[in-house]
């Protein structure tokens, strides 16, 4: 299985494409648009991470489906387990068995 995760630009942190991504025990701060983006059908499992959302009300979502529509990304698998969401950050799980399983602090 090939894993490719690119830092695309300063406005976001990671963009995951083609493969499986197990994102564990990280501290995500200072994103401007989103923290984790995906395209090309990635499977993303986020576990035990800390996400501190920016002040910008429109940039609170941790995840972003990049350059794709709902009909395509609704079949992807993105999960959050045991993540800590700060400053109204939120993770949108999708796919089979997906459920929001994180701690909302604020």
Please answer whether residues 25 and 46 qualify as being in contact, where contact means their C-beta atoms are separated by less than 8 angstroms: no
Its domain, for residue 92, covers 4-104
In whole angstroms, what is the distance from residue 26 CA to residue 47 CA? 9
Write out pLDDT tens, residues 88-106: 999 989 887 666 555 555 5
Write out pLDDT tens, residues 44-88: 999 999 999 999 999 999 988 887 777 778 788 999 999 999 999
For the chain, how many structural domains are there in total? 1
Per-residue pLDDT at 6: 43
Q: Which residues pair with 17 in a beta bridge?
A: 4, 39
């Amino acid at each position: 299985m090939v894993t490719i995760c690119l830092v695309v630009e300063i406005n976001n942190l990671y963009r995951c494409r083609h493969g499986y991504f197990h994102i564990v025990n990280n501290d995500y701060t200072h994103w401007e648009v989103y923290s984790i983006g995906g395209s090309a059908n990635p499977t993303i499992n986020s576990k035990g991470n800390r996400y501190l959302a920016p002040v910008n009300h429109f940039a609170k979502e941790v995840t972003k489906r990049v350059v794709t529509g709902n009909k395509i990304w609704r079949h992807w698998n993105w999960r959050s387990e045991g993540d800590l969401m700060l400053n109204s950050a939120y993770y949108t799980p999708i796919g089979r068995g997906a459920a929001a399983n994180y701690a909302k602090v604020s």
